[in-house]
Chain A
């Protein structure tokens, strides 16, 4: 009797939502694999243009960065316009190590870049314990711009031109761009980055629904109350920024490995703002939102460039629409496209 009751009970709202999420993830996964392998089964050459795959790889790289900033600007709740520091650090460490010391492989350089980024995030954590709100915004902005000027003026880092000729990563001795059973040179990146994004999504989900996540939520909502409840506010804030920095650094390393160049704009505030707005558009504190935001911000300008060529516009319409998009989202859905409403 009891058993029948259970099996017939109405699914709860939360369960339905969870089911829908699982289905959505499966659909996205299937679509990605379809894109990767379709060309293997078509007898007459390429169906999916390589350029399309390029856009997907870049979107996935920025998804990693966006999931990274989510820990700081999402779960910890401070605006950061300085995450390009960590993105650039990852890219430059990979660039420097793989070109100057040819022995060091790409994967090791990711780890070293992560360590550098973690160290560079400590001043931000320290500043965050002294300064708040708008002032933290300008501090992070200034922080990454300072690094951009350092990179521009440094000869060892290649100055304005940056560092070129970064080798593509190897996996089991095979270049990731030349894996024999994959139809194009981008598919290896797509598969690996999908695995990383998936892992990070799971990681974020687990962290957020753990003691640490609850503590971060408490700190975000009311620092003083959290402190009074015995939460070590400083330690959790430091943890959030370090996690955030380390993940963003991985994105930077992959960017360098994929595009084979690292230039000072990777430290720039413009990139910081882009990473931050990806999260804001998708939804702060939303895993799927962070990924969606990255895809929107990467794919839209490419589509618009196509439109621009088609109708012969003399200027790039993307940034104009991008600004408008931010204003409109903030007015009508300030929590972001997939974000949850705050009370």
Chain B
């Protein structure tokens, strides 16, 4: 039991990171209707920005995190500007948006590979690393390490801010409305281009934050976005597309599922489990755990 709980705790921080990626996916998917395949690359670039800030300018964790979130937002807006805006103007976004995203993501991934080299990098130690005992069962202590705890807290704060933004500000409400019916929202007088830009900025900031947290835990490398991006999708689908709390739940569940798989089945299948879950959810309950029924856009 203690071993089981320990694995669950181990999966929590990873799950939080996946949840951040998942929200970035689902907001853009809801508003623009395109599977933004470049999201994994924004995550990777965010991790690299964080790496350069912490390594070369010796910044602390919080300012570096905020700055890399800003950089992620800018990158995502630029991706929209150069990749999707021309297609939106021509009205071919629905048909060629996905392949454009695929191309942009390949371009970004391998440009990063050329610029930063394929060698994995390690963040400097941003904080003290020690296990904290949560509770003990039958003499076996269940611990969480301080790094995981900080990442969980950081994820939680970002989620709360995001939830407040969506429910308390007019732009956030417009975004929620847009994810249900963009056309009608535009007819109501909302500036849809501006709304899309804000959506991309938020998505990019969240992706970069996820990348930064990932960098604190593991090594970073230019192709890290490919798998993580897809796992983000898996979490978004498990939680229900379009639901923020759903993404959090989905992320944490998949993080735990991964930890349990590597603990009890085999490390070799750790990365496969999220795909299995994703496919099962799509086939059994396509709206996910907390999603609402929505019309297919693409």
Of chain A, the residue at the smallest CB distance from B298 is A133
**B283 interfacial contact with A, CB 8 Å:** yes
| Bound-complex Cα distance A316 to B110 (A) | 9
Hey, which chain A residues are within 8 Å of B111, CB to CB? 320
Number of residues of chain B lying within 8 A (CB) of chain A: 45
Q: B231 to nearest A CB, angstroms?
A: 10
Contact yes or no, B230 A142, CB < 8 A: yes
Give every chain B residue within 8 A of A334 (Cβ-Cβ): 92, 95-96
Please, what's the 1-or-0 string for A126-157, where 1 marks a CB less than 8 Å from any CB in chain B?
01001111110111011101100110110000
Query: Known contacts A134-B29, A153-B269, A324-B107; can you find 15 more A-B pairs with CB under 8 A?
Result: A79-B98, A130-B283, A135-B286, A142-B234, A146-B279, A150-B272, A152-B268, A280-B99, A317-B114, A320-B106, A320-B114, A326-B99, A326-B106, A331-B87, A331-B90
* Nearest-CB residue, chain B, relative to A281: B99
* Residues of A participating in the B interface, judged by any CB pair closer than 8 Å: 79, 127, 130-135, 137-139, 141-143, 145-146, 149-150, 152-153, 269, 273, 277, 280, 314-317, 319-320, 322-327, 330-331, 334, 342
User: In whole angstroms, how far apart are the Cα atoms of A277 and B102 in the complex?
Assistant: 9
Find chain B residues with CB under 8 A from A325 CB: 103
B100 touches A327 (CB 8 A): yes
In the complex, the answer to whether A133 meets B297 with C-beta atoms within 8 Å is yes
Complex contact A319–B237 (CB within 8 A): no
**A135/B272 in contact, CB under 8 A:** no
Given contacts A131-B283, A149-B271, A331-B87, contact A138 B96 (CB under 8 A): no
With A127-B283, A133-B298, A139-B282: A320-B107 Cβ-Cβ less than 8 Å: yes
Does the CB pair B110–A133 fall under 8 Å? no
1/0 per residue, CB under 8 A from A, across B79-93: the answer is 000010011001010
7 residue pairs from A and B, CB less than 8 Å apart: A142-B275, A146-B272, A315-B110, A319-B107, A330-B87, A334-B92, A334-B96
Contacts of A277 in B (CB 8 A): 99, 102
The answer to whether B278 and A273 touch across the interface, beta carbons within 8 angstroms, is no
Docked complex Cα distance between A269 and B104 (Å): 17
Instruction: Assess the B268–A330 pair: CB atoms within 8 A.
Output: no
Q: Which of A137, A139, A323, A325: most chain B Cβ within 10 A? A: A323
Report the separation of the CA atoms of residues A79 and B298 in the bound assembly, to the nearest whole angstrom.
11
A323 touches which of B107, B237, B276 (Cβ 8 Å): B107
